[in-house]
Amino acid sequence: MIKLQKEDISVESVVEELRKRSRNIGAIVLFLGVAREFSRGRKVKMLYYETFKEMALKKLEELRQEAIRKYNLIDMIVIHRYGYIDINEKIVAIAAAAMHRRQAFEACMFYIDELKKIVPIWKKEITEEGEYWIRE
């Protein structure tokens, strides 16, 4: 399952949804990206995420399928928010379900690294000094 949404992410719902998918799940690893207050030497007041939604959903799903195949996952759920996000709010949840923990951990790391490289989601930091588009 892949989602782009403005609303907050329910971690509990993500985990419960994965648990229902198979009785062979031995590990669920959740990566949760959260908006931090200090970045690149500046105090951040808020973040803004912009996306080309159709292309982003396509790329998120391609990455999901690659992670499932590469790490032999049972399933994976990815939810990324867009719009304005306050400090300490959730930005992205990546949950990998596998028979073994190593597969799930490695899949989450792979996914977030690749997401930042290829998915058309752009981040702006809104600070006391101004607004800055961030390349990661």
3-state DSSP percent of the chain in helix, strand and coil, to 5: 35, 40, 25
Closest CA to 131 of 60, 76, 50: 50
Cα 115 to Cα 25: distance, rounded to the nearest angstrom: 24
For 34-62, the DSSP string reads: E--SEETTEEEEEEEEEE-HHHHHHHHHH
CATH 2.60.120.10 fits domain 2-134: no
Please give the model's pTM, rounded to 2 decimal places: 0.94
C-alpha dist (Å) from residue 41 to 15, 54, 89, 116: 35, 34, 20, 21
For every one of its 136 residues, what pLDDT tens digit does the chain have, with 9 covering 90 and above? Answer: 999 999 999 999 999 999 999 999 999 999 999 999 998 889 999 999 999 999 999 999 999 999 999 999 999 999 999 999 999 999 999 999 999 999 999 999 999 999 999 999 999 999 999 999 998 6
State the residue for tokens 């892949």: 2
pLDDT of residue 135: 80
DSSP single-letter state for residue 25? -
Domain spans of the chain, in order of start: 2-134
Q: Which residues pair with 134 in a beta bridge?
A: 123
